[in-house]
A = this chain, B = another copy of it.
Amino acid sequence: MVRIAVLGCGRIGAMHAANIAAHPRATLAAVHDINTDVAKVVSAAIGAPIMATAGEVFAASSVDAVLIATATDTHADLLEQAVAAGKPVLCEKPIDLSLARVNACAEAIRGTSLPIQIGFVRRFDPGHKAVHDAVRAGEIGELHQVVVTSRDPGLAPEAYLQVSGGILRDMTIHDFDMARYILGEEPETVFATGARLVAPKLMERLGDHDTITVVMQTASGRQAILLNSREATYGYDQRVEAFGSKGMVISDNRRAHHMVRAGKGFTDHAAPLLHFFIERYREAFDAEIGAFVEAVETGSPAIVGFEDGRRALVLADAAIRSIAEGRTVKVSEVL
């Protein structure tokens, strides 16, 4: 059994803790949160010991690996400490909002052979993964265009948005990773445009956008288009389309069930999309833990590694510069 400790017991940390406990080859070794009351809730519900400090976790011989789900600005520090302590890490995205900090972190852990996995959970979604696998298997021939539609079911609270690092580093970052995952080739140029349509005043106050389109192109000409909105009234809109020389694959949305209704003047009326990301990506979160457990067991590199986390941030930074300067930005400018 792989004994995993969870650092950070907020919404996503608590979910990970439960998933670890439910995994047949993993146990929840410990939980930690700077707010002890929060840690207590998870501890009581799932039954793992509380550790008072992160240092205690890293020092514990009862802990084989750690999952970092703390506040974003602590990720890099904790990740470095974990590696220093010889613990494999599953770290929530983003590694840090600052590319400089991420680069420094990369330097600090250079040469480690410990599995380090970044929490780009969508790679583990059965539908999105099926798109990836079909593309890699050549089922659509040469890949030409990737279209990622990614719209949140509703605006996050202002307090969250203030520390989120902006939509590109917070939300689009998942889509940058998805694009890289499907493309199988690094984007060379990034164009982005942002608008304030969902909550114009709030976005102006935050200096942020709520509606984003990004277009990236690789050296060979493959195009990736990312479509974001902070609010889709019909649910959490998550689609991936890959188009190529021999065909197309689409990972379509998910609903809670497949009941459709017809009546006077309409047909096919279906339920809204699954709203909550934990519900929408439930199988993916399970599979993410499973992949981490396997990486720890075998000592093999994680499927989504540190460099994947760094690259997604590079693309976000390029997109931010593209919006600011109204031009296509070469990735090499920010790398």
Where the two chains meet, the residues of A that have a C-beta atom closer than 8 Å to any C-beta of B are: 22, 24, 45, 125-127, 130-131, 134, 139-142, 144-145, 147, 149, 151, 189, 191, 193, 195-198, 211, 213, 215, 217, 220-223, 225, 227, 229, 231-235, 237, 243, 245-273, 326-328
CB distance from A259 to the nearest CB of B (A): 4
- Establish whether residues B223 and A213, one from each chain, have CB atoms under 8 Å apart when the complex forms: yes
- Establish whether residues A213 and B197, one from each chain, have CB atoms under 8 Å apart when the complex forms: no
Chain B residues lying within 8 Å of A252, measured Cβ to Cβ, are 258-260
- Establish whether residues A268 and B262, one from each chain, have CB atoms under 8 Å apart when the complex forms: no
Identify which of A24, A126, A147, A213 gathers the most chain B CB atoms within 10 Å of its CB.
A213
Please report the C-alpha to C-alpha distance between residue A272 and residue B223 in the assembled complex, in whole angstroms: 24
CB distance from A101 to the nearest CB of B (A): 30
Minimum-distance CB pairs A-B, first 6: A195-B221, A247-B263, A234-B262, A127-B257, A126-B257, A130-B259
Nearest B residue to A265 by beta-carbon distance?
Answer: B272
- Establish whether residues B261 and A249, one from each chain, have CB atoms under 8 Å apart when the complex forms: yes
Nearest B residue to A228 by beta-carbon distance?
Answer: B145
Asked, given contacts A253-B267, A258-B254, A266-B270, whether A223 binds B195 with beta carbons under 8 Å apart, the answer is yes
Nearest B residue to A270 by beta-carbon distance?
Answer: B268
- Establish whether residues B246 and A195, one from each chain, have CB atoms under 8 Å apart when the complex forms: no
- Among B142, B235, B259, the residue within 8 A (CB) of A127 is B259
Chain B residues lying within 8 Å of A231, measured Cβ to Cβ, are 245
Please report the C-alpha to C-alpha distance between residue A260 and residue B126 in the assembled complex, in whole angstroms: 12
- Among B197, B247, B327, the residue within 8 A (CB) of A245 is B197
Chosen A-B contacts, 25 in total, with CB atoms closer than 8 Å, are: A127-B257, A140-B261, A140-B263, A144-B197, A144-B211, A145-B227, A193-B223, A193-B328, A197-B220, A198-B245, A213-B223, A225-B227, A229-B243, A233-B245, A234-B248, A234-B264, A235-B262, A247-B262, A248-B263, A249-B260, A253-B258, A262-B273, A266-B269, A266-B271, A269-B269
